[in-house]
Structure 1
Amino acid sequence: MTAPVPLSGTRFQTEPAQLYREMRREHGAVAPVLLDGDVPAWLVLDYRELHQVTGDPVLFSRDSDLWNQWDRIPADWPLLPMIGRKQPSILYTVGERHRRRAAMVADALESVDPFTLRRYAEEYADGLVDAFCGAGEAELIAQYAMLLPVRVLVKIYGVPDEQGPGLVTALNDMIDGRERALAGQQHLAESVFGLLAAKRAEPGEDVASRMLADPSGFTVEEMAQDLMVMMAAGHQPTADWIGNSLRLMLTDDRFAASLSGGRHSVAEAMNEVLWADTPTQNVAGRWASRDTHLGGRHIRAGDLLLLGLAAANADPQVHIDNAALTGGNSAHFSFGHGEHRCPFPAQEIAEVIARTGIEVLLDRLPDLDLAVPAGALTRRPSPWLRGMTDLPVTFTPTPALGGTP
């Protein structure tokens, strides 16, 4: 068997699509990879095999206790926040308890009024644009995309506004999976437990209060873990969805019309990003409950399989012409698949935040243009989430509206 591929390095930043093509050509549908510390795993690259893995929760389980590598994992392993053992969150429950857990989360999110959600998103987006619209230049990742989702989410979840900036830093540290990952996870946990204590004492019209009121009997620990998952999954991928969509619209002639007032291209650009530049590249993971075969590979009981969402979306068997608009085709894997996919209400919330953020920005700054050549734009060096490092732009200075800063 050919040598495993380290799941790290600059190519995930500079040319992931080409890297996945090479891995598929050399290894087939399922490639051997190495995580931090040379920990072995499998990366599922092809659409059909990924559909099989995510559609069979018995054979390919979310129960991380099955992992056959735990004796090699140190207590300070930077990927523990993403591949945790005995975490009582929705990510690692299985069977009927998972289905009840997912229903509790979906019900809490579904009760968010879409008109109120959009109003919050518009207010915060306008406030963020107000902070730089008079300067004639801005950096849209740090000054806009990275700030908008978490501000809206903390509002609907019930978190005090002043905790938003600290949560942004903590979430980014945790998701990047480097030396600050465990500290970021600790900050997030403290914030969430504090939120639940406050809402138990004084409930409100928010997601956390609705979770506490659910009659299913879940513990505070379980609800706290679920809120942490909802924060992480709702913030960074949505921020990257905004950033990647803006990059596409600013660099691809197919979307130039939207910068002069068109509205149809915003939705098209966002869907194109979910296919060709998805914020969530790879996800950990599934564990084989017994010996099996997948994509011509012998998978041992307890092996970890990573879900190659970006690679599967680009599988030439399902996405033949990468230059063509995907239109309304939403058969991508960007929100996952199967019983552990992103709940539909969460997808809707992310889409409202991202689309509103893009539309407000284009309405306010219609002559937005890149301040650097497109080739100079860079990405974060992560194999997990794909987003822009920065997105510098110029525009005609305009007066502030006086929105929420």
Structure 2
Amino acid sequence: MTTSSLDRPTGARKPLAELTGLVPLAATTACPDPQHVFRRLRAEHGPVAPVELEPGVHAWLVMGYQEILTVTRQEQVYSCDPNDWSAHHDGSLPADSLLRPMMSPYDNAFFVNGERHRRLRAPIAGGMAEIDQRAMRRAVAALCTDVIGAFAGRGEADLVADYAAIVPVLAIADRFGLNTVESHELQAGLAAMFAWGADALAAREKVMKILADVVAARRATPSRDLTTYLVEHPNLRGDAEIYDTMVLTLVAANENTMSCIAQTLRLMLTDERFAGRLRGGRLGVDDALDEVLWRDPPMTNAPARYALRDTELAGQPVRRGDAMILGLTAANADPRIHASGEPWREVGNRAHLSWGAGPHACPAQIPARLIVRTAVETALHLLPGVRLAIPVEELVAVPSPWGRTPQSIPVRFTPVRHRDSEPL
């Protein structure tokens, strides 16, 4: 790694709490070109920049590749537990803050550190490793075919709402041993739960009831599925930890995999390098997914780490309790490690940070990639003549400081029958 002026912040090195006029974190996602914003922040502050999460709520945005590795690998300095965030103690976080769903304490492997994290993560990692990939691919292809069958005869669809938002949770629910009806009920419950509407609490109770029922069923009759694996795992102490582990797995798989499916479909349908593949071009689904993971990963900015003591990172004075946001999209294009600034042009390069790094790196990278690849291939195969129904510049992202998932991908195609996929 070379040293450049990007390593040395040019602005005043003041503590986070004393800074004003900061760029909102949402400015990095609600724009046509996030890299333009990241370049501006780097020029002013270096690879670690102060940003505003909400009015009056500040954090450090870590945009450097090496700096993210430092933060994610040093648990003794940077904690995953939001209880260590000063905003939870000094009153600066409003009770109705939209940051709370992503930056509040939860009792699962994602939000704890050290030995407790290792104990709770082991069942997830072990369960993912136990998955029969061939069997899973067949199951995912079958459920993708069923989902497509619900709209194949219309000749038009929204590949986000009608497809990408549905497939991942059904795929993971199948691995947990849920039947088709239970899987669809779970998908609907999770969707309502994270829409944060008036029915969110009732939706959570419904989700927990589904999980409790399948756990009870596997205790009575074990099977070769993830639920049985978790029920029998010695690291999980009681039903509450089993439920929390199942919810974490479902939520992480659903949100991140949905985004990858949507972004990969978008690229395949709108970029001639990939769209040409449908007509015999040279780049395919794996290449498109690799580019998505470099350029538009599921999380543009990932919450969060919290400083456990006063320290310094890339010349910035990090204070105990400061929040560190992981700028994954920014770090993937860190000019200090990619002279061209476009690592996604390097076919087969998978050294991106989109799965995270350190002890908390995603343990489900292989099944997630399998689900995405199968979902995209199945859609392109079963929807003849599929094409975007609006100009590409009219595609917009879901409003969020965390990611840039397309809000919708309206398409048209030749209507097909459900089972044989022949034109009507």
TM surpasses 0.5: yes
1:28 positional shift: 2.0
Distance 2:86 2:241 in 1: 25
Q: Equivalent residue for 2:268?
A: 249
Distance 2:375 2:408 in 1: 17
Give the counterpart of 1:220 among 234, 239, 256.
Answer: 239
Q: Equivalent residue for 1:100?
A: 119
1:338 equivalenced with 2:355 (yes/no): no
SS of residue matched to 2:255: helix
1:3–1:187 Cα change, 3 Å: farther
SS of residue matched to 2:30: helix
1:326 positional shift: 2.9
Give the counterpart of 1:379 among 366, 386, 397.
Answer: 397
Q: Equivalent residue for 1:127?
A: 146
Which amino acid in the other structure matches residue 99 of structure 1? R
Distance 2:202 2:221 in 1: 29
SS of residue matched to 2:223: coil
How many residue pairs get aligned? The number is: 400
SS of residue matched to 1:367: coil
Distance 1:35 1:175 in 2: 20
SS of residue matched to 1:328: coil
Which shows bigger deviation, 267-276 or 137-146?
137-146
Which amino acid in the other structure matches residue 58 of structure 2? P
Cα deviation 1:284-309 (Å, max 9, x = unaligned): 11111110001211111121111111
Which amino acid in the other structure matches residue 401 of structure 1? R
1:25-36 pair list within 5 angstroms: 25-36=43-54
1:79 positional shift: 2.8
Q: Equivalent residue for 1:269?
A: 288
1:269 positional shift: 0.4
Give the counterpart of 2:418 among 393, 400, 403.
Answer: 400
1:94-173 pair list within 5 angstroms: 94-172=113-191
Cα deviation 1:126-178 (Å, max 9, x = unaligned): 11222222332222111111111111111112334334445445545666779
Q: Equivalent residue for 1:364?
A: 382
Distance 1:358 1:51 in 2: 31
Distance 2:319 2:325 in 1: 14
Q: Equivalent residue for 1:234?
A: 253
Which shows bigger deviation, 28-37 or 57-66?
28-37
1:290–1:174 Cα change, 3 Å: farther
**TM score, norm. by length of structure 2:** 0.86
SS of residue matched to 2:50: strand
Give the counterpart of 1:21 among 33, 39, 44.
Answer: 39
Q: Equivalent residue for 2:330?
A: 311
1:238 positional shift: 0.8
Q: Equivalent residue for 2:102?
A: 82
Distance 2:203 2:22 in 1: 30
Q: Equivalent residue for 1:3?
A: 21
1:236–1:398 Cα change, 3 Å: same
Distance 2:200 2:59 in 1: 20
1:152–1:396 Cα change, 3 Å: same
Contact residue 309 and residue 334 of structure 1 kept, 8 A: yes
Which amino acid in the other structure matches residue 265 of structure 1? G
Which shows bigger deviation, 10-19 or 355-364?
10-19
Unaligned runs of 5+ in 2: 1-18
What is the root-mean-square deviation of aligned Cα atoms in Å? Answer: 2.7
Which amino acid in the other structure matches residue 296 of structure 2? D
Distance 2:368 2:32 in 1: 26
1:117 positional shift: 0.6
Unaligned runs of 5+ in 1: none
SS of residue matched to 1:196: helix
Cα deviation 1:320-370 (Å, max 9, x = unaligned): 343862311111111000011001xx1111111110111111222342211
Distance 2:42 2:208 in 1: 38
Identity of aligned residues (%): 38
Cα deviation 1:41-81 (Å, max 9, x = unaligned): 21111112111111211111223322222132455543333
1:289 equivalenced with 2:308 (yes/no): yes
SS of residue matched to 1:381: coil
Distance 1:302 1:230 in 2: 28
1:243 positional shift: 0.9
Contact residue 44 and residue 307 of structure 1 kept, 8 A: yes
1:312–1:147 Cα change, 3 Å: same
Q: Equivalent residue for 1:58?
A: 76
Instruction: Return the index of the structure with the highest Cα Rg.
Output: 2
Contact residue 260 and residue 366 of structure 1 kept, 8 A: no
1:187-202 pair list within 5 angstroms: 188-202=207-221
Cα deviation 1:77-96 (Å, max 9, x = unaligned): 433332222x2200122223
SS of residue matched to 2:251: helix
Distance 1:369 1:239 in 2: 20
Contact residue 176 and residue 226 of structure 2 kept, 8 A: yes
1:277 positional shift: 1.1
Distance 1:354 1:368 in 2: 18
1:217–1:133 Cα change, 3 Å: closer
Distance 2:61 2:198 in 1: 23
Which shows bigger deviation, 73-82 or 227-236?
73-82
